[in-house]
Structure 1
Protein backbone atom coordinates (compact mmCIF):
# COMPACT_ATOMS: atom_id res chain seq x y z
CA UNK A 1 0.00 0.00 0.00
CA UNK A 2 1.00 3.64 -0.50
CA UNK A 3 0.86 5.92 2.53
CA UNK A 4 1.05 9.68 2.03
CA UNK A 5 2.90 11.46 4.84
CA UNK A 6 3.61 15.16 5.27
CA UNK A 7 6.84 15.10 3.24
CA UNK A 8 6.86 11.83 1.29
CA UNK A 9 4.77 8.90 0.15
CA UNK A 10 6.05 5.52 1.32
CA UNK A 11 5.54 2.03 -0.01
CA UNK A 12 4.43 0.04 3.04
CA UNK A 13 3.51 -3.61 3.63
CA UNK A 14 0.94 -3.92 6.44
CA UNK A 15 -0.53 -7.30 7.31
CA UNK A 16 -1.77 -9.53 10.13
CA UNK A 17 -3.58 -8.84 13.39
CA UNK A 18 -2.31 -8.51 16.95
CA UNK A 19 0.57 -6.69 18.66
CA UNK A 20 2.45 -4.54 16.15
CA UNK A 21 5.99 -5.20 14.91
CA UNK A 22 7.70 -2.38 12.99
CA UNK A 23 10.33 -3.81 10.61
CA UNK A 24 12.94 -1.36 9.29
CA UNK A 25 15.26 -2.35 6.42
CA UNK A 26 18.71 -0.97 5.56
CA UNK A 27 20.90 -0.28 2.51
CA UNK A 28 20.13 -0.98 -0.30
CA UNK A 29 16.94 -2.90 0.46
CA UNK A 30 13.19 -2.37 0.69
CA UNK A 31 10.43 -3.91 2.77
CA UNK A 32 10.91 -7.10 0.74
CA UNK A 33 13.87 -7.89 3.00
CA UNK A 34 11.33 -8.92 5.64
CA UNK A 35 9.03 -11.16 3.61
CA UNK A 36 9.97 -14.34 5.49
CA UNK A 37 9.59 -12.63 8.86
CA UNK A 38 6.25 -11.09 7.89
CA UNK A 39 4.74 -14.49 7.06
CA UNK A 40 6.00 -16.08 10.28
CA UNK A 41 5.00 -13.17 12.51
CA UNK A 42 1.53 -12.93 11.01
CA UNK A 43 1.04 -16.66 11.52
CA UNK A 44 2.10 -16.26 15.17
CA UNK A 45 -0.49 -13.55 15.83
CA UNK A 46 1.39 -10.31 15.16
CA UNK A 47 0.54 -7.35 12.93
CA UNK A 48 3.54 -6.30 10.86
CA UNK A 49 4.31 -2.84 9.49
CA UNK A 50 7.19 -2.95 7.00
CA UNK A 51 7.88 0.39 5.26
CA UNK A 52 10.29 1.06 2.46
CA UNK A 53 12.28 4.08 3.63
CA UNK A 54 12.35 7.33 1.67
CA UNK A 55 14.94 7.11 -1.10
CA UNK A 56 14.65 3.34 -1.47
CA UNK A 57 12.61 0.99 -3.66
CA UNK A 58 9.18 2.32 -4.57
CA UNK A 59 9.06 5.10 -1.96
CA UNK A 60 9.51 8.76 -2.83
CA UNK A 61 12.94 10.28 -3.40
CA UNK A 62 12.66 13.90 -2.22
CA UNK A 63 14.96 16.59 -3.55
CA UNK A 64 17.17 18.64 -1.26
CA UNK A 65 20.48 16.80 -1.06
CA UNK A 66 21.76 14.53 1.70
CA UNK A 67 19.95 16.36 4.52
CA UNK A 68 16.63 15.21 3.06
CA UNK A 69 17.77 11.68 3.96
CA UNK A 70 19.19 12.28 7.42
CA UNK A 71 18.31 9.41 9.81
CA UNK A 72 16.18 11.88 11.78
CA UNK A 73 14.02 12.30 8.66
CA UNK A 74 13.44 8.54 8.57
CA UNK A 75 12.58 8.52 12.26
CA UNK A 76 10.06 11.27 11.67
CA UNK A 77 8.54 9.44 8.70
CA UNK A 78 8.07 6.22 10.66
CA UNK A 79 6.59 7.90 13.73
CA UNK A 80 4.14 9.71 11.43
CA UNK A 81 3.37 6.41 9.70
CA UNK A 82 2.58 4.76 13.05
CA UNK A 83 0.31 7.67 13.92
CA UNK A 84 -1.55 7.29 10.61
CA UNK A 85 -2.00 3.60 11.37
CA UNK A 86 -3.11 4.42 14.95
CA UNK A 87 -0.33 2.32 16.48
CA UNK A 88 0.60 3.05 20.09
CA UNK A 89 3.03 0.43 21.44
CA UNK A 90 5.10 -1.80 19.19
CA UNK A 91 8.05 -4.16 18.90
CA UNK A 92 10.86 -2.62 16.85
CA UNK A 93 13.25 -4.51 14.55
CA UNK A 94 15.98 -2.99 12.38
CA UNK A 95 18.61 -4.42 10.05
CA UNK A 96 21.72 -2.58 8.81
CA UNK A 97 20.80 1.13 8.49
CA UNK A 98 17.35 0.16 9.73
CA UNK A 99 19.00 -0.65 13.05
CA UNK A 100 20.29 2.91 13.28
CA UNK A 101 16.85 4.30 12.46
CA UNK A 102 15.26 1.94 14.99
CA UNK A 103 17.65 3.18 17.67
CA UNK A 104 16.57 6.73 16.85
CA UNK A 105 12.92 5.75 17.26
CA UNK A 106 13.66 4.09 20.61
CA UNK A 107 15.35 7.29 21.81
CA UNK A 108 12.40 9.39 20.63
CA UNK A 109 9.55 7.31 22.14
CA UNK A 110 11.01 4.77 24.59
CA UNK A 111 7.73 4.43 26.47
CA UNK A 112 6.07 3.04 23.32
CA UNK A 113 8.73 0.44 22.46
CA UNK A 114 7.96 -3.07 23.79
CA UNK A 115 11.32 -4.39 22.58
CA UNK A 116 14.17 -3.39 20.29
CA UNK A 117 15.92 -5.95 18.07
CA UNK A 118 19.12 -4.83 16.33
CA UNK A 119 20.26 -7.01 13.43
CA UNK A 120 23.87 -6.66 12.17
CA UNK A 121 24.38 -3.06 13.33
CA UNK A 122 24.74 -2.23 17.01
CA UNK A 123 25.39 0.97 18.97
CA UNK A 124 27.76 3.41 17.26
CA UNK A 125 29.93 3.63 20.38
CA UNK A 126 30.58 -0.13 20.25
CA UNK A 127 31.34 0.19 16.53
CA UNK A 128 34.02 2.80 17.29
CA UNK A 129 35.48 0.85 20.20
CA UNK A 130 36.44 -2.08 17.95
CA UNK A 131 38.97 0.24 16.32
CA UNK A 132 41.11 -0.64 13.30
CA UNK A 133 39.55 -4.06 12.75
CA UNK A 134 36.18 -2.42 12.10
CA UNK A 135 37.66 0.45 10.09
CA UNK A 136 39.14 -2.01 7.60
CA UNK A 137 35.73 -3.56 7.01
CA UNK A 138 34.07 -0.15 6.73
CA UNK A 139 36.21 1.21 3.88
CA UNK A 140 33.15 1.57 1.65
CA UNK A 141 31.53 4.05 4.08
CA UNK A 142 34.27 6.54 3.29
CA UNK A 143 33.89 5.91 -0.44
CA UNK A 144 30.15 6.54 -0.14
CA UNK A 145 30.86 10.06 1.14
CA UNK A 146 32.18 11.10 -2.30
CA UNK A 147 29.32 12.34 -4.53
CA UNK A 148 29.70 11.19 -8.10
CA UNK A 149 32.77 9.07 -7.36
CA UNK A 150 30.80 6.50 -5.35
CA UNK A 151 28.00 6.39 -7.91
CA UNK A 152 30.47 5.85 -10.76
CA UNK A 153 32.30 3.07 -8.91
CA UNK A 154 29.09 1.25 -7.99
CA UNK A 155 27.50 1.60 -11.47
CA UNK A 156 30.54 0.83 -13.62
CA UNK A 157 30.30 -2.31 -15.79
CA UNK A 158 26.61 -2.85 -15.04
CA UNK A 159 26.93 -2.31 -11.28
CA UNK A 160 29.93 -4.60 -10.89
CA UNK A 161 31.09 -2.80 -7.74
CA UNK A 162 27.69 -3.08 -6.09
CA UNK A 163 27.33 -6.68 -7.23
CA UNK A 164 30.58 -7.52 -5.46
CA UNK A 165 29.28 -5.93 -2.25
CA UNK A 166 26.03 -7.89 -2.61
CA UNK A 167 27.69 -11.25 -3.27
CA UNK A 168 25.89 -12.91 -0.34
CA UNK A 169 22.57 -11.13 -0.92
CA UNK A 170 19.92 -13.67 -2.01
CA UNK A 171 18.02 -10.92 -3.87
CA UNK A 172 20.95 -9.03 -5.38
CA UNK A 173 19.48 -8.60 -8.87
CA UNK A 174 16.09 -7.48 -7.56
CA UNK A 175 17.79 -4.96 -5.26
CA UNK A 176 19.95 -3.51 -8.05
CA UNK A 177 17.10 -3.06 -10.54
CA UNK A 178 15.37 -0.05 -8.89
CA UNK A 179 18.76 1.64 -8.43
CA UNK A 180 18.96 2.05 -12.21
CA UNK A 181 16.31 4.79 -12.10
CA UNK A 182 17.62 8.39 -12.37
CA UNK A 183 18.60 9.68 -8.95
CA UNK A 184 17.88 6.40 -7.16
CA UNK A 185 21.44 5.42 -6.31
CA UNK A 186 22.29 8.88 -5.00
CA UNK A 187 19.14 8.91 -2.87
CA UNK A 188 20.09 5.55 -1.34
CA UNK A 189 23.67 6.71 -0.66
CA UNK A 190 22.50 9.93 0.96
CA UNK A 191 21.66 8.19 4.23
CA UNK A 192 25.41 7.56 4.63
CA UNK A 193 26.31 11.10 3.62
CA UNK A 194 23.87 12.70 6.05
CA UNK A 195 24.06 10.18 8.88
CA UNK A 196 27.64 8.88 8.94
CA UNK A 197 30.15 11.40 7.61
CA UNK A 198 33.75 10.51 8.45
CA UNK A 199 33.87 12.84 11.46
CA UNK A 200 30.95 10.97 13.03
CA UNK A 201 32.13 7.45 12.23
CA UNK A 202 35.40 7.60 14.11
CA UNK A 203 35.23 10.61 16.45
CA UNK A 204 35.80 9.23 19.96
CA UNK A 205 35.17 12.63 21.54
CA UNK A 206 31.59 12.79 20.22
CA UNK A 207 29.31 11.77 23.13
CA UNK A 208 26.77 9.05 22.41
CA UNK A 209 23.97 8.32 24.87
CA UNK A 210 23.17 4.71 25.76
CA UNK A 211 20.05 3.11 24.38
CA UNK A 212 17.05 3.83 26.61
CA UNK A 213 15.65 1.45 29.19
CA UNK A 214 13.87 -0.91 26.80
CA UNK A 215 14.65 -4.62 26.29
CA UNK A 216 17.32 -4.87 23.58
CA UNK A 217 18.45 -7.90 21.57
CA UNK A 218 21.48 -7.75 19.29
CA UNK A 219 21.98 -10.35 16.55
CA UNK A 220 25.15 -10.73 14.47
CA UNK A 221 25.95 -13.29 11.76
CA UNK A 222 29.30 -15.03 11.51
CA UNK A 223 29.62 -14.46 7.75
CA UNK A 224 29.15 -10.69 7.88
CA UNK A 225 31.87 -9.08 5.72
CA UNK A 226 31.09 -5.55 6.87
CA UNK A 227 30.75 -5.68 10.64
CA UNK A 228 32.80 -7.24 13.41
CA UNK A 229 31.27 -9.30 16.18
CA UNK A 230 32.60 -6.81 18.71
CA UNK A 231 30.58 -4.00 17.18
CA UNK A 232 27.42 -5.88 18.14
CA UNK A 233 28.50 -7.83 21.23
CA UNK A 234 29.95 -4.63 22.70
CA UNK A 235 26.59 -2.90 22.38
CA UNK A 236 25.59 -4.47 25.68
CA UNK A 237 27.78 -1.90 27.45
CA UNK A 238 25.68 0.88 25.91
CA UNK A 239 22.14 -0.11 26.86
CA UNK A 240 20.21 1.14 29.88
CA UNK A 241 17.77 -1.78 29.88
CA UNK A 242 18.14 -5.54 29.55
CA UNK A 243 20.47 -6.99 26.92
CA UNK A 244 20.46 -10.25 24.98
CA UNK A 245 23.09 -11.20 22.41
CA UNK A 246 22.72 -13.89 19.73
CA UNK A 247 24.97 -15.21 16.94
CA UNK A 248 23.63 -16.67 13.71
CA UNK A 249 26.12 -19.22 12.41
CA UNK A 250 27.09 -19.67 8.74
CA UNK A 251 25.07 -16.71 7.52
CA UNK A 252 25.97 -13.53 5.66
CA UNK A 253 25.04 -9.92 6.30
CA UNK A 254 21.50 -10.41 4.96
CA UNK A 255 20.62 -13.23 7.32
CA UNK A 256 16.88 -12.34 7.55
CA UNK A 257 16.80 -13.74 4.01
CA UNK A 258 19.31 -16.60 4.14
CA UNK A 259 18.51 -17.84 7.69
CA UNK A 260 14.83 -16.90 8.07
CA UNK A 261 13.84 -19.74 10.39
CA UNK A 262 16.59 -18.81 12.84
CA UNK A 263 15.70 -15.12 12.76
CA UNK A 264 11.99 -15.84 13.11
CA UNK A 265 12.60 -18.03 16.14
CA UNK A 266 14.79 -15.43 17.83
CA UNK A 267 12.27 -12.65 17.25
CA UNK A 268 9.28 -14.66 18.41
CA UNK A 269 11.00 -15.77 21.61
CA UNK A 270 12.11 -12.20 22.34
CA UNK A 271 8.64 -10.75 21.70
CA UNK A 272 7.00 -13.39 23.90
CA UNK A 273 9.31 -12.54 26.78
CA UNK A 274 8.59 -8.82 26.35
CA UNK A 275 4.88 -8.88 25.53
Structure 2
Protein backbone atom coordinates (compact mmCIF):
# COMPACT_ATOMS: atom_id res chain seq x y z
CA UNK A 1 0.00 0.00 0.00
CA UNK A 2 1.14 3.56 -0.51
CA UNK A 3 3.00 4.92 2.47
CA UNK A 4 4.79 8.09 3.49
CA UNK A 5 7.49 8.69 6.09
CA UNK A 6 5.56 11.74 7.27
CA UNK A 7 1.86 11.16 6.59
CA UNK A 8 -0.25 14.27 6.29
CA UNK A 9 -2.41 15.08 9.30
CA UNK A 10 -6.01 14.06 8.57
CA UNK A 11 -8.84 16.54 8.26
CA UNK A 12 -11.28 15.49 10.99
CA UNK A 13 -14.90 16.53 11.40
CA UNK A 14 -17.28 15.40 14.14
CA UNK A 15 -20.98 15.80 13.43
CA UNK A 16 -20.12 18.26 10.68
CA UNK A 17 -17.77 20.45 12.74
CA UNK A 18 -14.00 20.67 12.27
CA UNK A 19 -12.14 19.03 15.15
CA UNK A 20 -9.09 21.11 15.98
CA UNK A 21 -8.72 21.08 19.78
CA UNK A 22 -8.33 18.48 22.51
CA UNK A 23 -11.89 19.19 23.65
CA UNK A 24 -13.18 18.50 20.13
CA UNK A 25 -11.54 15.08 20.22
CA UNK A 26 -12.59 14.20 23.76
CA UNK A 27 -15.48 11.93 22.74
CA UNK A 28 -13.49 9.81 20.26
CA UNK A 29 -10.55 9.72 22.67
CA UNK A 30 -12.72 8.39 25.52
CA UNK A 31 -15.27 6.31 23.63
CA UNK A 32 -13.72 5.66 20.23
CA UNK A 33 -12.75 2.11 21.15
CA UNK A 34 -16.41 1.11 21.08
CA UNK A 35 -17.24 2.11 17.54
CA UNK A 36 -17.74 0.83 14.02
CA UNK A 37 -16.68 2.37 10.73
CA UNK A 38 -16.30 2.04 7.00
CA UNK A 39 -13.30 3.02 4.88
CA UNK A 40 -13.69 4.22 1.31
CA UNK A 41 -11.61 5.64 -1.50
CA UNK A 42 -13.08 8.78 -3.04
CA UNK A 43 -12.18 9.91 -6.54
CA UNK A 44 -13.67 13.09 -7.99
CA UNK A 45 -16.28 13.05 -5.24
CA UNK A 46 -17.39 9.50 -6.10
CA UNK A 47 -17.12 6.11 -4.41
CA UNK A 48 -17.35 2.56 -5.73
CA UNK A 49 -20.06 0.66 -3.90
CA UNK A 50 -21.29 3.65 -1.91
CA UNK A 51 -24.64 1.96 -1.24
CA UNK A 52 -22.81 -1.00 0.26
CA UNK A 53 -20.80 1.29 2.53
CA UNK A 54 -23.98 3.02 3.68
CA UNK A 55 -25.78 -0.27 4.24
CA UNK A 56 -22.81 -1.54 6.27
CA UNK A 57 -22.94 1.52 8.53
CA UNK A 58 -26.71 1.26 9.00
CA UNK A 59 -26.66 -2.47 9.76
CA UNK A 60 -23.74 -2.20 12.18
CA UNK A 61 -25.30 0.78 13.93
CA UNK A 62 -28.52 -1.15 14.47
CA UNK A 63 -26.63 -4.10 15.90
CA UNK A 64 -24.19 -2.15 18.06
CA UNK A 65 -26.21 0.89 19.13
CA UNK A 66 -29.80 -0.21 18.51
CA UNK A 67 -30.67 2.50 16.00
CA UNK A 68 -30.39 2.97 12.25
CA UNK A 69 -28.09 5.45 10.57
CA UNK A 70 -29.58 7.76 7.96
CA UNK A 71 -27.80 7.31 4.64
CA UNK A 72 -28.34 10.89 3.47
CA UNK A 73 -26.92 12.23 6.73
CA UNK A 74 -23.79 10.14 6.24
CA UNK A 75 -23.42 11.38 2.66
CA UNK A 76 -23.87 15.00 3.78
CA UNK A 77 -21.20 14.55 6.47
CA UNK A 78 -18.76 13.09 3.94
CA UNK A 79 -19.45 15.85 1.39
CA UNK A 80 -18.97 18.49 4.08
CA UNK A 81 -15.67 16.98 5.20
CA UNK A 82 -14.37 16.77 1.63
CA UNK A 83 -15.34 20.41 1.06
CA UNK A 84 -13.70 21.36 4.35
CA UNK A 85 -10.50 19.62 3.34
CA UNK A 86 -10.71 21.21 -0.11
CA UNK A 87 -10.29 17.90 -1.96
CA UNK A 88 -12.20 15.65 -4.35
CA UNK A 89 -9.83 12.67 -4.10
CA UNK A 90 -9.27 11.16 -0.67
CA UNK A 91 -9.19 8.17 1.64
CA UNK A 92 -12.25 8.68 3.85
CA UNK A 93 -13.34 6.91 6.99
CA UNK A 94 -16.73 7.32 8.63
CA UNK A 95 -16.74 6.31 12.30
CA UNK A 96 -19.90 5.90 14.37
CA UNK A 97 -19.52 6.08 18.16
CA UNK A 98 -21.90 6.72 20.99
CA UNK A 99 -21.04 8.70 24.10
CA UNK A 100 -23.00 8.12 27.33
CA UNK A 101 -26.05 10.35 27.45
CA UNK A 102 -26.06 11.05 23.73
CA UNK A 103 -29.33 10.77 21.81
CA UNK A 104 -27.74 9.41 18.65
CA UNK A 105 -24.47 8.08 17.31
CA UNK A 106 -21.72 10.62 16.81
CA UNK A 107 -20.30 10.62 13.27
CA UNK A 108 -16.61 11.30 12.86
CA UNK A 109 -15.29 11.66 9.31
CA UNK A 110 -11.57 11.62 8.60
CA UNK A 111 -10.09 12.72 5.28
CA UNK A 112 -6.60 11.68 4.24
CA UNK A 113 -4.73 11.64 0.93
CA UNK A 114 -5.97 8.93 -1.46
CA UNK A 115 -4.30 5.52 -1.26
CA UNK A 116 -3.94 2.63 -3.68
CA UNK A 117 -2.85 -0.91 -2.91
CA UNK A 118 0.42 -1.88 -4.52
CA UNK A 119 -0.03 -4.41 -7.32
CA UNK A 120 3.13 -6.22 -6.20
CA UNK A 121 2.48 -9.87 -5.21
CA UNK A 122 2.16 -10.29 -1.46
CA UNK A 123 3.59 -12.82 0.98
CA UNK A 124 1.32 -13.61 3.94
CA UNK A 125 2.15 -15.14 7.31
CA UNK A 126 -0.62 -17.21 8.86
CA UNK A 127 -1.44 -16.42 12.48
CA UNK A 128 -3.88 -18.06 14.93
CA UNK A 129 -6.40 -15.28 15.45
CA UNK A 130 -10.12 -14.78 14.87
CA UNK A 131 -11.54 -11.27 15.04
CA UNK A 132 -14.33 -10.96 17.63
CA UNK A 133 -17.67 -10.15 15.97
CA UNK A 134 -15.92 -10.62 12.62
CA UNK A 135 -18.92 -9.52 10.53
CA UNK A 136 -18.56 -6.01 11.98
CA UNK A 137 -15.94 -3.49 10.88
CA UNK A 138 -15.14 -2.34 14.39
CA UNK A 139 -12.26 -0.63 16.17
CA UNK A 140 -10.08 -2.00 18.93
CA UNK A 141 -8.22 -4.54 16.79
CA UNK A 142 -4.95 -4.63 18.74
CA UNK A 143 -4.28 -8.28 17.95
CA UNK A 144 -4.75 -8.04 14.19
CA UNK A 145 -2.61 -4.91 14.08
CA UNK A 146 0.13 -6.53 16.15
CA UNK A 147 0.08 -9.71 14.07
CA UNK A 148 0.47 -7.53 10.99
CA UNK A 149 3.51 -5.88 12.58
CA UNK A 150 4.98 -9.28 13.48
CA UNK A 151 4.41 -10.50 9.93
CA UNK A 152 6.27 -7.55 8.44
CA UNK A 153 9.11 -7.99 10.94
CA UNK A 154 9.40 -11.58 9.72
CA UNK A 155 9.70 -10.43 6.10
CA UNK A 156 6.08 -10.88 5.02
CA UNK A 157 3.74 -8.20 3.69
CA UNK A 158 0.90 -8.90 6.11
CA UNK A 159 -0.82 -11.46 8.32
CA UNK A 160 -3.43 -14.05 7.34
CA UNK A 161 -5.90 -14.78 10.12
CA UNK A 162 -6.83 -18.39 10.81
CA UNK A 163 -9.25 -20.24 13.08
CA UNK A 164 -8.54 -23.52 14.95
CA UNK A 165 -7.54 -26.31 12.61
CA UNK A 166 -5.80 -23.89 10.26
CA UNK A 167 -9.09 -22.63 8.81
CA UNK A 168 -8.39 -19.56 6.68
CA UNK A 169 -10.72 -16.65 7.45
CA UNK A 170 -9.37 -13.29 6.17
CA UNK A 171 -6.31 -11.10 5.97
CA UNK A 172 -5.46 -8.69 8.76
CA UNK A 173 -6.87 -5.81 6.68
CA UNK A 174 -8.08 -7.65 3.59
CA UNK A 175 -10.30 -10.38 2.25
CA UNK A 176 -8.58 -13.23 0.47
CA UNK A 177 -9.72 -15.32 -2.48
CA UNK A 178 -8.30 -18.43 -4.10
CA UNK A 179 -8.49 -19.74 -7.66
CA UNK A 180 -8.76 -23.46 -8.38
CA UNK A 181 -8.50 -23.12 -12.13
CA UNK A 182 -12.25 -22.80 -12.59
CA UNK A 183 -13.76 -20.71 -9.79
CA UNK A 184 -12.79 -17.91 -7.42
CA UNK A 185 -13.19 -19.37 -3.93
CA UNK A 186 -13.73 -17.09 -0.92
CA UNK A 187 -13.18 -18.74 2.48
CA UNK A 188 -16.49 -19.83 3.96
CA UNK A 189 -15.62 -18.80 7.51
CA UNK A 190 -16.61 -16.00 9.90
CA UNK A 191 -15.08 -12.82 8.49
CA UNK A 192 -15.82 -9.29 7.42
CA UNK A 193 -17.30 -9.25 3.94
CA UNK A 194 -15.50 -6.20 2.60
CA UNK A 195 -17.06 -3.87 0.06
CA UNK A 196 -14.57 -4.77 -2.67
CA UNK A 197 -15.18 -8.47 -2.03
CA UNK A 198 -18.95 -7.88 -2.14
CA UNK A 199 -18.72 -6.01 -5.44
CA UNK A 200 -16.57 -8.72 -7.01
CA UNK A 201 -18.74 -11.58 -5.77
CA UNK A 202 -21.75 -10.06 -7.48
CA UNK A 203 -20.00 -9.25 -10.77
CA UNK A 204 -17.44 -11.99 -11.46
CA UNK A 205 -20.02 -14.57 -12.66
CA UNK A 206 -21.26 -12.10 -15.27
CA UNK A 207 -17.71 -11.97 -16.62
CA UNK A 208 -17.60 -15.76 -16.95
CA UNK A 209 -15.68 -16.35 -13.72
CA UNK A 210 -17.67 -18.38 -11.14
CA UNK A 211 -17.43 -17.02 -7.61
CA UNK A 212 -18.19 -19.36 -4.71
CA UNK A 213 -17.58 -19.75 -1.00
CA UNK A 214 -16.00 -22.85 0.41
CA UNK A 215 -13.82 -24.10 3.28
CA UNK A 216 -10.14 -23.28 2.92
CA UNK A 217 -7.45 -24.63 5.23
CA UNK A 218 -3.72 -24.11 5.43
CA UNK A 219 -3.05 -27.80 4.76
CA UNK A 220 -5.28 -27.62 1.68
CA UNK A 221 -3.64 -24.64 -0.02
CA UNK A 222 -2.06 -26.92 -2.59
CA UNK A 223 -5.47 -27.33 -4.24
CA UNK A 224 -5.32 -23.74 -5.50
CA UNK A 225 -3.20 -22.37 -8.33
CA UNK A 226 -3.49 -18.69 -7.42
CA UNK A 227 -4.74 -16.29 -4.75
CA UNK A 228 -5.38 -12.57 -4.33
CA UNK A 229 -6.38 -10.10 -1.63
CA UNK A 230 -8.84 -7.21 -1.73
CA UNK A 231 -9.79 -4.17 0.31
CA UNK A 232 -10.95 -0.60 -0.29
CA UNK A 233 -7.54 0.29 -1.71
CA UNK A 234 -7.63 -2.31 -4.45
CA UNK A 235 -6.57 -5.84 -5.39
CA UNK A 236 -3.20 -7.60 -5.31
CA UNK A 237 -2.01 -11.13 -6.10
CA UNK A 238 -0.59 -13.39 -3.41
CA UNK A 239 2.76 -15.06 -4.12
CA UNK A 240 3.18 -17.00 -0.88
CA UNK A 241 1.40 -18.07 2.30
CA UNK A 242 3.95 -19.29 4.82
CA UNK A 243 5.95 -21.85 2.79
CA UNK A 244 3.33 -22.42 0.09
CA UNK A 245 4.04 -20.53 -3.10
CA UNK A 246 1.51 -19.38 -5.70
CA UNK A 247 2.17 -18.44 -9.29
CA UNK A 248 0.83 -15.03 -10.24
CA UNK A 249 -1.91 -15.81 -12.75
CA UNK A 250 -1.73 -12.75 -14.96
CA UNK A 251 -4.86 -13.67 -16.90
CA UNK A 252 -6.86 -14.16 -13.69
CA UNK A 253 -5.66 -10.84 -12.27
CA UNK A 254 -6.50 -9.07 -15.53
CA UNK A 255 -10.05 -10.46 -15.47
CA UNK A 256 -10.61 -9.68 -11.79
CA UNK A 257 -9.20 -6.15 -11.95
CA UNK A 258 -11.15 -5.46 -15.15
CA UNK A 259 -14.39 -6.44 -13.43
CA UNK A 260 -13.57 -4.19 -10.50
CA UNK A 261 -12.53 -1.30 -12.77
CA UNK A 262 -15.89 -1.54 -14.57
CA UNK A 263 -17.84 -1.20 -11.32
CA UNK A 264 -19.81 2.07 -11.37
CA UNK A 265 -18.82 4.98 -9.16
CA UNK A 266 -21.55 6.63 -7.07
CA UNK A 267 -21.68 10.34 -6.32
CA UNK A 268 -21.33 11.01 -2.60
Give the alignment's TM-score, normalised by structure 2: 0.26
Give the alignment's TM-score, normalised by structure 1: 0.26
Instruction: Kindly name which structure, 1 or 2, has the bigger radius of gyration based on alpha carbons.
Output: 2
| Larger fraction in helix | 1
